[in-house]
Amino acid sequence: MLGSIKSSSEGPALPTASAGTARTAVRRRAGTWRVALVPWLFLAPALVIFTWFKFYPMLSGFIMSFYDVQFYSDSEWIGLDNFARALSDADLRVAVWHTVIYVVVGTVCSSIIAFFMALALEGQARHLRVLRTAIFLPAITSAAIIAEVWRILFNSAHYGVVNSLLGFVGVDPQGFLTDPSQALWVLILMQVWKSTPYDMVIFIAGLVGINRELYDAANVDGASRLRSLWHVTLPGIIPSISVVVMLSFIRGIRVFAEVYATTGGGPAGSTETIMTHVYKVGFEDLDYGYASAVSLLLLLFTVLLTLIHMAIKTRISN
Determine the Cα–Cα distance for residues 129 and 262; give it in Å rounded to an integer.
32
| Run of H or E including 81 | helix 81-87
Q: Is the pLDDT of residue 13 over 60?
A: no
Q: Is the pLDDT of residue 33 over 80?
A: no
Task: Give the domain ranges of the chain.
Answer: 2-54, 81-317
**pLDDT the model gives residue 14:** 46
Determine the Cα–Cα distance for residues 63 and 109; give it in Å rounded to an integer.
39
Say what the pTM is: 0.82
Q: Is the pLDDT of residue 242 over 70?
A: yes
| pLDDT band (50, 70, 90) for residue 155 | confident
- Which tens digit of pLDDT belongs to each residue from 190-223? 999 999 999 999 999 999 888 888 888 888 888 8
**pLDDT the model gives residue 253:** 92
| Run of H or E including 76 | strand 76-77
Q: What's the average model confidence in pLDDT over 275-284?
A: 93
**pLDDT the model gives residue 28:** 63
Mean pLDDT lowest for which of 45-54, 127-136, 168-177? Answer: 127-136
Radius of gyration of the chain (CA): 30
Q: 81-317 — its CATH code?
A: 1.10.3720.10
